[in-house]
Amino acid sequence: MDTVTKRKLNSEEIFAALKVFITEVIGEEFVEDMDITRESSFTKDLEMDSIEIVSFSEKVKAHFGENIDFTGWLSGMDLDQLINLKLDDIIKHIETCQ
């Protein structure tokens, strides 16, 4: 039997997966009016509240693995880091955790 090594996802694939999670969390009808890019800020552009962030974080964990502690990572940030957090920062974080 082949040893299956779980392939690391590249940045584009992570971005695509995150977009799906955001749509699931926020709701399709609300995502329609949004332009989700790597530069989208988490709180300002996507306007996620704490409940949405928790549900997003659970999806990230379920998909990318338990070792991605998204809420733990957030709680280590200072105010300005949280305010300026972009989707791209999350993609990079997942890349390093994989």
Choices 2-10, 24-32, 56-64, 87-95 (CB under 8 A): range interacting with another protein: 24-32
Query: Which residues, 37 to 66, sit near another protein by CB under 8 A?
Result: 43-44, 47, 49-50
The count of residues interacting with another protein (CB under 8 A) is 17
Torsion, Cα 67 68 74 77, to 10 degrees, reads 70
Spatial distance between the Cα atoms of 14 and 60, rounded to a whole number of angstroms: 10
Spatial distance between the Cα atoms of 46 and 24, rounded to a whole number of angstroms: 13
Q: Under the criterion CB under 8 A, does residue 32 sit at the interface with another protein?
A: no
Q: Residue 57, Cβ neighbours under 10 Å: how many?
A: 20
CB 87 within 8 Å of CB 40: yes
Choices 10-18, 57-65, 70-78, 88-96 (CB under 8 A): range interacting with another protein: 70-78
Interacting residue with another protein among 14, 18, 26, 91 (CB under 8 A): 26
For another protein, the binding residues (CB under 8 A) are: 26-27, 29-30, 43-44, 47, 49-50, 74-79, 82-83
